[in-house]
A and B are shown apart, each in its own frame.
Chain A
Amino acid sequence: MDRRSSRLEWQEAYEHTSAAHSRATTQSGTPLAPVYGPGDGEFPGVYPYTRGIHPAMYRSKLWTMRMFAGFGTAPETNERFHQIIDAGGTGISTAYDMPTLLGIDTDDERARGEVGRCGVAIDTIEDVADLYAGIDLAAITTSMTINAPAAAIFAMFVASAEDQGVERARLGGTLQNDILKEYQAQHEYVFPPRPSLRLVRDTVVFATREMPRWHPLSVSGYHIREAGSTAAQEVAFTLANAFAYVELSRRAGLAVDSFAPKLSFFFNAHIDFFEEVAKYRCARRLWARWMRDYYGALDERSWQLRFHAQTAGVSLTAQQPDNNHARTAIEALAAVLGGAQSLHTNSFDEAWSLPSSDAARIALRTQQVIAYETNVTQVADPLGGSWFVEELTDQLEREVGALLEELLELGRGSLLEGCLTAIDQGWFDEHITEAAYAHERAVQRGERLVVGVNAFVDATSAPAPTNQVAPDTEARQRARLAEVRLARDATAVTRALDELRADARDSEVNLMTALMAASRARASVGEIMDALADVFGRYRVAPR
């Protein structure tokens, strides 16, 4: 491409943004341009988008301050959502408890001890209605961090919203729905990979056709990194998974440009500041190149990698927990200087438990300080052009490129097949565990310092106050589920689940219709997942 035209191309695009006539200065009055760089260099909003996907970046739109929350029962989490919105949060994001994440009902013996603990317990559509009570679903965007039962939870959400008068076309938000990384890193899977991918296909096709404001897939490197990967592995595995979903959707008959603009990404914001900034830049550049050149996308929105970031949970320390405020602030700044579209900041107490309401508020305030006080929002990609950051971006690009080529070879030209083969071989686990082990050994040997852990240790430091989930949560949620089971029409439930099984047996059928019918009949998440498991089987993996 003609790199000389880069600045001109940017200029033209910039003039069409809402920031075209914006003026900015430093705190002391020096005027600031919206971006700096040589005329033939890379520019934001211009392919390959290394410097950001929008020509004006945060001058035209700040990132969404999307705080992730969920604990106890639906009414308790609903109260937290209202607190977040009242405090100026601009999006909400739901964390589900372990039983829900694995498609297990609250009254199942396997759920004992886990109900409402790591997130909110959701059993039926009634809980979904309680979760979003009083929240205008056509106005605020919602995000759902769920994967194995994503299709079932999504069906409950859409059915519940429609029953309350909000048509599906008006719903805006994101379903994580990234099942591949579950087999690679997070390990909250239920069905084997191929039938799981069929559920992903069904949700993507449904949302692409009927929900223009919905992002049906958030391809997530966050969990890969938390499991211990390096930055290059985080980007490589995430992009490989995203390309796998591109291939999956193409096989389902969707034109690449019809759904690729709806894909979103989710990356970690870790503690190595410059590496993180370079990571986001390199991810954008590689996505643009591969989408244009390998997958033949023609729409520039298909080339633009938009991402949510979350500060690194694993970087938080249980020792001297107050230090975590500093870690989160630095990590959040890396995400912002790296051009994130949406951000969650962890709370300082999260090495111990889910965040308290006060701690979550401070985490949100940290974003607001960055957004409104520091002035870093005025200039796009402020670190672009730094010899160090540019070189690091190129270096990561080479490392990521080599890993992608390896997976592509494994799949004989298909990243979908490459990812599936690599999952079967335990290739991802091996890479990630090796990196996690190297990190821990370095900490144990004192080669890598962690303040409060192996350096500047303070024996008197008090642990953070732990935010306890109410002890009667499990009992209350069991009672709620029992009440719903008693009030529903049992024959209708059986019929809906039979229809779901029948649809599941025919791989050509889109399961969203049957899932929404089962949700409306008040079938539980566990019942829906069990019915699907009758057809799909369950995934088991032997320890390596």
Chain B
Amino acid sequence: MTTRVLIAKVGLDGHDRGVNVIARLLRDAGMEVVYTGLFQTPEAVARTAIDEDVDVVGLSILSGAHLTLVPLVIAALRTSGCDVPVVVGGIIPQEDVAALHSAGVAATFGPGSSMQDIVATIEDLVPAH
């Protein structure tokens, strides 16, 4: 079975160059990608993740609000009974990476991450189909 990934933008951050490009590159790598569009609430992301039955949720954040928004998304997912891994891509200062991991984030991808690494990490997170 093909890996299904939900790519989401939460909050007020309209920067979507990264998310648009990542969606295409993940499709090139053979994954099925669902993109939420901009300005999603954490609850809406959780709903879409469940409705679309995805294997992984990828959040894209450039605005610097990751420490506030990412835990909210994880909480919304878990309270809806969805336990899929969450990965985060964007500008994440080194000192925030540990905080995101303890909030339950499975992996973070900073600027300059190679697609090979991103794809391999996502595949590793998804239990064998």
- Using a CB–CB cutoff of 8 Å, the interface residues on chain A facing chain B are 98-99, 101-102, 104, 110-114, 117-118, 186-188, 226-228, 314, 317-319, 351-353, 433, 436-437, 440-441, 444, 453-454, 463, 466, 469, 541-543
From B51-59, B60-68, B77-85, give the one contacting chain A. B60-68
Would you call B107 an interface residue if the criterion is a C-beta within 8 Å of the partner chain's C-beta atoms? Answer: no
Which of B70-120 touch A at CB < 8 Å? 91, 93-95, 110-112, 114-115
Known A112-B68, A117-B63, A318-B111: A98·B12 in contact at CB below 8 Å: yes
A101 to B38, CA, bound (A): 15
Whether A319 contacts B65 by the Cβ 8 Å rule is: no
Q: How distant is B109 from chain A, measured CB to nearest CB, in Å? A: 12
Asked whether A98 lies within 8 Å of B63 as measured between CB atoms, the reply is: yes
Whether A117 and B64, one on each chain, are in contact in the complex, defined by CB atoms closer than 8 angstroms, is yes
B interface, CB within 8 angstroms of A: 11-14, 16-17, 20-21, 24-25, 35-38, 41, 63-65, 67-69, 91, 93-95, 110-112, 114-115
Q: Which residue of A lies closest to B24 (CB)?
A: A437
Contact A111/B20 with A317-B112, A318-B111, A466-B93 known, Cβ cut-off 8 Å: no
Given A118-B63, A319-B111, A543-B36, A110–B12 Cβ distance below 8 Å?
Answer: yes
A436 touches B36 (CB 8 A): no
Known: A113-B67, A437-B21, A543-B37. A463 touches B112 (CB 8 A): no
Contact A352 B93 (CB under 8 A): yes
The DSSP consensus for interface residues of chain A is: loop
- Other 9 A-B pairs with CB < 8 A, given A187-B14, A318-B91: A101-B12, A112-B69, A114-B12, A117-B64, A186-B14, A436-B20, A437-B24, A437-B25, A440-B25
18 A-B contacts (beta carbon < 8 Å): A98-B14, A98-B65, A101-B12, A112-B68, A113-B68, A188-B14, A228-B21, A318-B111, A437-B20, A437-B25, A440-B25, A441-B25, A444-B25, A454-B112, A466-B93, A541-B38, A543-B35, A543-B37
> Which single residue of chain B is at the shortest CB-CB distance from A351?
B111
- Out of A114, A319, A466, name the residue touching B112 (CB < 8 Å): A319
A463 near B37 with CB under 8 A, answer: no
Q: Does A226 lie within 8 Å of B93, measured CB to CB?
A: no
Chain A residues contacting B38 (CB-CB under 8 Å) are 187, 541
* Contact A353–B20 (Cβ < 8 Å): no
* Known interface pairs A113-B69, A118-B63, A542-B37; A102-B111 also in contact (CB < 8 Å): no
Q: Given A113-B68, A352-B93, are A98 and B13 also a contact pair (CB < 8 Å)? A: yes
Across-interface contacts of A351 in B (CB, < 8 A): 91, 111
Q: Which 3 pairs across A and B sit closest by C-beta, in order of nearness?
A: A113-B68, A113-B65, A543-B37
A444 touches B14 (CB 8 A): no
Please report the C-alpha to C-alpha distance between residue A510 and residue B17 in the assembled complex, in whole angstroms. 36
Closest to A450 in B: B112
State which of B25, B63, B68, B93 has its C-beta within 8 Å of the C-beta of A463. B93
Among candidates A318, A444, A453, A469, residue contacting B115 with C-beta atoms closer than 8 Å? A444
Measured CB to CB, the nearest residue on chain B to A118 is B63
Whether A436 lies near B68 (C-beta < 8 A) is no
CB pair B111–A104 under 8 Å, yes or no, is: no
